[in-house]
Amino acid sequence: MIEVLFFSVLTVGVITEILYKKIEKYKPIIISFSVALVLTLLCTHVLPELFSVENNQLGYYLLAGFIIQILLELLSKGIEHGHVHLHGEISTKELIVIFIGLSIHSFIEGMPINTFEEVGHNHSFIENGNSFSWIYLSTILIHKLPIAAVLIIFLNSIKLNFTKKFTLLIIFALSSPLGVYFGEYIINLDYFRNWSTNLLAISCGMLLHITTLLIFEDHHQSKGKVKNIITISAGIITGILIFST
C-alpha cells in the first residue's frame, strides 16, 4: 500500500508536467469529479464502517478533523481544494509555509491506513480489515492524485525551477507513506492502543470539510452551474457503481 501511495502521486506529478496545459484546462472538472467520488466513498463505506464501532467519542474526533483542516488551511492557503488563495508574487517563505500545511494534511490522512487490523474491539474491522483498508486507500488516492497535479500546476505558475519542483513533489509523495508508518507506530503504544478509529475519524473530518466546502463552492458559482452539477453527479454515480458491495 505504501508503494502505491508513493509511486501513484509521483507518476501523476510527472504526467502533469508533461501534459501541463491540457490538465490545467480540465482541472476544475477533475477536481469536482474526484471530490464527488471521495464524498461518495466517505458516505457509503468509510463513515458507516467507522460508526459501526461502539465508541461514543468518535463524533468529537470527527469534529477535531474539521478544526485541524481549518487550521491547516491557514498554512496551505487551500491548495488541498485545488487552488491557492494568494494574490501577486509568492515568496520562498510563503511557499514553504504552504507546502508544510499540505504535507501535514497528507501525513495525517496516511496515519489510519494500516491500523484497522489492530482494532481489538471491532470484529467488522478485523474480519474485513484488508478490504476496508483498500477502500480507505482508494479514498485517499482519489483525493491525493488531483492534488499532486494541482501542486505541479501551482509550482509551474510561480516558475519554480525543475530541481526544486520535483524535490517538493517527492516530499509530498512521501508524506502519506510516512504517516502510515507513524500511525502503525503510535497504535502500538499503550496509550494509543485503541486509537485506530480515532485516527480514522480525524481524517474523515478533514476530508468532509474539504469535500463539502468544494461542492458548495462549485454549486454557488455564477457560471457553469449545470456543468458542475453534471460532473458532481457523475462522480457520485461512478463511486456507487464501482465501489458498491
Binning pLDDT at 50, 70 and 90, where does residue 245 land?
Answer: low
- 123 pLDDT higher than 50: no
| Lowest-confidence region among 1-15, 42-56, 211-225 | 211-225
The answer to whether 233 touches 36, Cβ cutoff 8 Å, is yes
What is the spatial distance between Cα 78 and Cα 245, in angstroms, rounded to a whole number? 33
- pLDDT: is 70 or 79 the higher one? 70
| pTM > 0.85 | yes
Cβ neighbours of 243 (radius 10 Å): 16
User: 30-64: per-residue pLDDT in tens?
Assistant: 888 999 999 999 999 899 888 888 788 899 999 99
What is the spatial distance between Cα 16 and Cα 136, in angstroms, rounded to a whole number? 24
- Predicted pLDDT of residue 82: 64
Cβ neighbours of 19 (radius 10 Å): 13
For residue 90, give the 3-state DSSP assignment.
coil
